[in-house]
């Protein structure tokens, strides 16, 4: 009884002193801070203040703590999401609620500094939402006229709590598929309105506006190795071209390159390609000036398969028409300075493994959930979305 009374008195003392409350709340982890909203109206008002949110974001900058893994083919088991923590803690107290996402029927389209851009099918209508898995909040995006005219469009989320508590959603709608004529619309959470940009443009052939990466104040799109990518600056509303990937070292040999991964880490863009004839991954990085891609390193899949033979089971099973390795890139992590190593998370049949570029070693991270009815197929291709804890109020 005395402990409860003492605790209540302490909370009342903190609530009664705004400066003290501010100092205490700024030091709480995001999940604990979210629970503090329910303690008192004063706490709720303080935490909801944009100035507090900005100070908190500066003290706790976005840092990836895990990955949402979504099977690429979810038609058989819809809304199936697996969470992969990146920390070594056994119980993972800060793990997000996957059930919150699956119970809502959300399909993750993009992750951006703690917020998720999601879609949800309801009968014949598809709705779009921005979700905070840390606070279990989500908002509906208002429908824009282009969504009703059956235009093909791709949505991209732009959010950086270090610069603004608000977010934007960029839509690129294709007006003419044959000519590649496109137009951009921007939704701003601050106003709750869509704004159509007057200028139209012709997109490079093969670019995928449904696969975006937000980094350095720009939304980037790239698809395929033979076409240039594009990036859109959300402050200037200007569209620019990304340089093409450099020619391979043996450019006299006609290798069929396959897109494998496009993402970012530590403010750098990363692009991964592979080729059945070369049997390795090539990891490229864009320089800060956005002038060219550099080949940073390669991952020898043959050497990797010697340690993890499951990824080479096609070679052993007599599949003469397909001798590719069953291995995909989930995420590329860059060290915090030029001397630090890269680490690459990879999925192989039934497992997630990690490859260290500096040590040229690899190890098992965890087992993947494989249903009994999938044992014969066994290998699933995943889309990976980074999870960041954030207190963003939607």
Q: For the segment 259-318, what is each residue's pLDDT rounded down to a tens digit?
A: 889 999 999 999 998 877 778 899 999 999 999 999 999 999 989 999 998 888 665 555
β-strand partners of 202: 181
232 falls within a domain = no
pTM of the model: 0.84
13 within some domain: yes
Using an 8 Å Cβ cutoff, are 113 and 61 in contact?
no
Report the candidate in 135, 153, 136 with the shortest Cα–Cα distance to residue 145.
153
Is 37 within the bounds of a domain?
Answer: yes
| Total domain count, the chain | 1
Query: What's the chain's average pLDDT?
Result: 81
Render pLDDT for 180-193 as a digit per residue (tens, 0 to 9): 899 999 999 999 99
Task: Give mean pLDDT, residues 239-244.
Answer: 91
Whether 34 is covered by a domain: the verdict is: yes
Q: Residue 183: its pLDDT value, please?
A: 93
Phi and psi at 315, nearest 5°, equal -65, -35
**pLDDT greater than 50 at residue 1:** no
pLDDT for residue 223 is more than 50: yes
Predicted confidence (pLDDT) at residue 230 exceeds the cutoff of 50: yes
H/E run at residue 114: none
> Is residue 65 assigned to a domain?
no
- The size of the chain, in residues, is 394
- Whether 16 is covered by a domain: the verdict is yes
pLDDT of residue 144: 85
Q: Does a structural domain hold residue 171? A: no
Band of residue 119 on the pLDDT scale cut at 50, 70, 90: very high
Residue 2 has pLDDT above 50, yes or no: no
pLDDT for 226 beyond 70: no
pLDDT digits (tens, 9 = 90+) for 41-99: 777 777 777 777 777 777 777 777 899 998 876 544 556 788 898 876 545 556 777 78
Assigned domain for 9 exists: yes
Phi-psi region of 290 (alpha: psi -120 to 50; beta: other; left: phi over 0): left
The residue segments making up the domain with residue 18 are 1-60
Do the beta carbons of residue 362 and residue 300 sit within 8 Å?
no
């Amino acid at each position: 009884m005395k402990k409860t009374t003492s605790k209540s008195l302490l909370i009342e003392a903190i609530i009664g002193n705004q400066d003290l409350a501010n100092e205490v709340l700024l030091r709480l982890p995001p999940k604990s801070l979210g629970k503090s909203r329910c303690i008192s109206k004063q706490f709720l008002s303080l935490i909801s203040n944009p100035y507090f949110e900005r100070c908190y974001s500066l003290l706790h900058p976005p840092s990836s703590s895990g990955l949402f893994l979504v099977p690429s083919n979810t038609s058989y088991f819809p809304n199936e999401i697996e969470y992969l923590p990146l920390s070594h803690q056994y119980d993972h107290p800060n793990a997000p609620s996957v059930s919150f996402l699956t119970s809502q029927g959300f399909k993750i389209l993009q992750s951006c500094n703690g917020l998720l851009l999601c879609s949800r099918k309801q009968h014949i209508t598809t709705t779009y939402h921005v979700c905070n898995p840390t606070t279990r909040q989500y908002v509906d995006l208002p429908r824009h006229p282009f969504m009703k005219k059956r235009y093909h469009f791709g949505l991209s989320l732009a959010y950086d709590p270090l610069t603004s508590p608000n977010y934007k959603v960029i839509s690129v709608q294709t007006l003419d598929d044959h000519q590649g004529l496109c137009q951009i619309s921007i939704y701003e959470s601050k106003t709750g309105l869509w704004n159509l940009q007057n200028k139209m443009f012709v997109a490079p052939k093969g670019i995928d506006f449904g696969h975006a990466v937000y980094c350095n104040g720009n939304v980037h799109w790239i698809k395929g190795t033979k076409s240039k990518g594009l990036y859109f600056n959300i402050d200037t509303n200007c569209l620019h071209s990304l340089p093409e990937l450099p020619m391979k070292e043996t450019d006299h040999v006609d290798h069929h390159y396959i897109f494998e991964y496009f993402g970012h880490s530590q403010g750098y863009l990363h692009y991964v390609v592979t080729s059945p004839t070369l049997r390795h991954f090539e990891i490229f990085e864009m320089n800060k000036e956005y002038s060219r891609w550099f080949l940073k390193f390669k991952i020898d899949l043959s050497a990797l398969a010697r340690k993890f033979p499951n990824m080479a089971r096609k070679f052993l099973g007599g599949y003469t028409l397909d001798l590719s390795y069953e291995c995909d890139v989930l995420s590329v992590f860059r060290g915090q300075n030029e001397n630090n190593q890269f680490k690459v998370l990879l999925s192989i049949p039934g497992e997630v493994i990690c490859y260290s570029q500096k040590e040229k070693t690899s190890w098992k991270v965890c087992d993947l959930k494989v249903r009994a009815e999938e044992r014969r197929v066994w290998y699933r291709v995943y889309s990976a979305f980074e999870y960041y804890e954030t207190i963003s109020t939607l």
